[in-house]
Amino acid sequence: MHEGHRQRMLQRLEDAEHLQDHELLEILLFNAIPRKNTNPLAHELLAEFVSLDGLMRASYEELLNVQGIGKETAAYLRGIAILCERLKKREDPLPRLFNVRDFSGFLFERLAPLKEEVIELFALDAQQHIIAEKRFTVCATDRAALEPEAVNQFLAVRKPAGLVVAHNHPAAPAHPSTADDKFTAQMQVVCSMNNVRFYDHIIVGTDGTYSYFLVGRMEEIRRAFDLNAIVGGKILRD
């Protein structure tokens, strides 16, 4: 009975905004208490600490004083609380809404200091809210760093309406190379095959940022490359 209930609760995570606090807490407790109904304990914790915020401020010792909370569960809840606190203190909080000028500034602060080259994917919903991100490190010995399957998997899991791609030029200007142009075209193909709108490719360099969208080159890139011939193999970065 518990297993069927748990599966139904996990399915409701797809619409997590409509979960009540005790339901979300019940689901989180599944990992700490694998074979027991966690609903009563979720209610007990919220009654003891008033709210989720109060629960996150509870000490390890205070959690142990709650009936049904053992050492592992107390440590698990403290770990969640510490993780939430660290997320609040992030130095580069991801903007919630995509605006190319503001987002370019955010990317410069994040990527300009890096000494290695990285590629970042940002998934957007239909209202251009940023719903997910993924980073790939470009290996110096294998400049073909990004497999199409990796991008396809990211899009399949996140199911975005749109995608923004960014990468950096360590110790070099942001001006795009021919390889950057081809990479942009390749990403257009992958997005098109997944029915995802490709919003922009933003390059970060020592002198600032370069946005293919802002300079009006997205359509030019589509015309400049044979998009049907560049999908096979890896997505290349020179």
62-105 tens-digit pLDDT: 999 999 999 999 999 999 999 988 887 766 577 888 999 999 99
Length of the chain measured in residues: 238
Highest mean pLDDT among 1-10, 73-82, 214-223: 73-82
Quick check: 79 and 98 in contact, CB under 8 A? no
pTM score over 0.95: no
Residue 143 in this model has a pLDDT that exceeds 80: no
Identity at 99, one-letter amino acid code: N
Q: 39-49 vs 21-32: helix axis angle to the nearest 10?
A: 120
- Judge residue 196's burial from the number of C-beta atoms within 10 Å of its C-beta, 0-12 exposed, 13-18 middle, 19 or more buried: buried
Pairing between strand 162-168 and 197-205? parallel
Angle at 186 (CA atoms; ends 181, 191), nearest 5 degrees: 125
Highest mean pLDDT among 35-39, 58-62, 148-152: 58-62
Q: Radius of gyration of the chain from Cα atoms?
A: 22
Question: Where do the domains of the chain lie, and which CATH numbers do they carry?
Answer: 2-88 (1.10.150.20), 100-229 (3.40.140.10)
Rounded distance between C-alpha atoms, residue 170 and residue 205, angstroms: 6
Place of tokens 């500034």: 105
Quick check: 28 and 56 in contact, CB under 8 A? no
Rounded distance between C-alpha atoms, residue 41 and residue 26, angstroms: 8
